[in-house]
């Protein structure tokens, strides 16, 4: 895995938005949304990012897409900084990196046929003749398990699961290298979500894709990812390979997420308790001093309220931001 070329390199990115009030727009504070995130995404990896609402995961996705500015730090794609790309490079980046949205209804134009939706990216980039684009649309539909004869229909004629497949087909139209997905199955029913998750894995094998997927559901990411980052208050509090995080979670927040995820298996096991973490995610305008998780943490010590924890490495791939864990000795 280490030998694979890196697709995305993210170095210590921060996003702080000033809060301005009053007549002279005096700055009264800042929303600290991303507070120093560093990671790299290598070719062929499926990286998950799990966090609750307000943790900054969607803003992180915007940063990877160059859809918002950074306060500091750097995002590079294939070794090129996103903010110093020229027009051609940027066009290439927009081709290579595609996004799949959470909401399969709102992200498809209601008055375009599926064929138009799928061939539009090709037309914009002046790829192929109209006839070739039509054929490509049919091919894409088959790729995601829909019938090519449905190409003339409109989005409302499809069910939620089918629409999400259309969203995936559209993302694939440009033969992308990397797919970013924002909660790709949270709006889908159980049986359809499972189909879409399998489709993600099939397509990855077929086209050697790289994924970055944000979600709030730890079980979905368990099924899908090779590595995982747990985000809390704009920081990756724990990163590691999937088996590292699920088999030996270190950060108290990671443990809280795992223990509070409802589970069929645990519900049958009378010895295991469904544990309930205290409190709620902090407001990004009023982050607590020290470790942002300390007010909710059962293991907090004095130092946690004062000092930001250092990053501790457990293995080459597994790191945690915590004063207490992993315990020494």
Residue ranges that bind other proteins, judged by CB under 8 A: 52-53, 159-162, 189-195, 197-198, 201, 216-220, 222-226, 242-243, 246, 256-269, 272, 274-277, 280-281
As measured in angstroms, the least distance from the Cβ of 252 to other proteins is 11
Q: Report the DSSP beta bridge partners of residue 26.
A: 21
**To the nearest whole angstrom, how small is the minimum distance from the Cβ of residue 319 to other proteins?**
21
**Closest approach of Cβ 163 to other proteins, in Å?**
11
Question: Considering beta carbons, is residue 116 or 223 the nearer one to other proteins?
Answer: 223
Q: How far apart are CA 233 and CA 66, in angstroms?
A: 21
HSE of 136 in the Cβ direction (CA atoms, 13 Å)? Answer: 22
Min dist. Cβ of residue 224 to other proteins (A): 6
Nearer Cβ to other proteins (125/272): 272
Pick 275 or 307: Cβ nearer other proteins: 275
Strands 178-182 and 97-100: parallel
- The nearest distance, CB 156 to other proteins, in angstroms, is 13
- CB of 208 or CB of 302, closer to other proteins: 208
Rounded to an integer, what distance in angstroms lies between the CA atom of residue 255 and that of residue 246?
A: 9
Strand partners, 240: 228
Sheet holding 6-21, edge to edge: 26-42, 6-21, 72-77, 80-81
- Rounded Cα distance, 10 and 41, in Å: 8
- Pick the closer one to other proteins by CB: 120 or 217: 217
In angstroms, what is the minimal distance from the CB of 106 to other proteins? 16
Q: Please name every residue paired with 236 in a beta bridge, in sequence order, or none if there are none.
A: 231
Closest to other proteins by CB, 72 vs 159, is 159
Cα dihedral: 191, 195, 197, 201 (round 10)? 160
3-state helix, strand, coil in the chain (%, to 5): 35, 25, 40
């Amino acid at each position: 895995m280490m030998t694979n070329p890196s697709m995305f390199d993210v170095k210590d990115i921060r996003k702080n938005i000033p809060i301005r009030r009053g007549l002279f727009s005096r700055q009264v504070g800042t929303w600290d949304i991303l507070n120093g995130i560093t990671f790299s995404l290598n070719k062929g990896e499926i990286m998950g990012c799990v966090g609750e609402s307000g943790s900054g995961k969607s803003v992180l996705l915007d940063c990877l897409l160059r859809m918002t500015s950074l306060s500091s730090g750097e995002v590079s794609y294939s070794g090129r900084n996103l903010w110093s790309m020229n027009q051609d490079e940027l066009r290439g980046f927009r081709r290579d990196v595609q996004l799949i949205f959470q909401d399969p209804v709102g992200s498809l134009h209601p008055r375009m046929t599926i064929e138009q939706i799928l061939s539009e990216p090709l037309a914009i980039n002046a790829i192929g003749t109209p006839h070739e684009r039509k054929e490509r649309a049919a091919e894409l539909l088959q790729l995601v398990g829909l019938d090519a004869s449905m190409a003339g229909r409109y989005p409302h004629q499809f069910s939620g699961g089918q629409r999400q497949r259309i969203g995936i087909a559209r993302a694939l139209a440009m033969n992308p290298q990397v797919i970013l997905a924002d909660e790709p199955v949270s709006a889908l029913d159980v049986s359809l979500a499972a189909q879409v998750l399998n489709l993600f894995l099939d397509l990855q094998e077929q086209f050697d894709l790289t994924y970055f997927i944000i979600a709030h559901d730890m079980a979905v990411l368990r099924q899908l990812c090779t590595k995982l980052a747990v985000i809390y208050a704009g920081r990756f509090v724990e990163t590691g390979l999937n088996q590292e995080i699920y088999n030996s979670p270190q950060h108290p927040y990671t443990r809280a997420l795992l223990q509070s995820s409802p589970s069929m298996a645990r519900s049958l096991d009378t010895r295991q308790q469904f544990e309930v973490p205290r409190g709620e995610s902090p407001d990004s305008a009023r982050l607590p001093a020290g470790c942002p998780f300390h007010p909710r943490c059962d293991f907090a010590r004095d130092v946690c309220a004062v000092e930001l924890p250092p990053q501790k490495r457990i293995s080459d791939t597994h790191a945690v931001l915590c004063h207490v864990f992993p315990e020494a000795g």
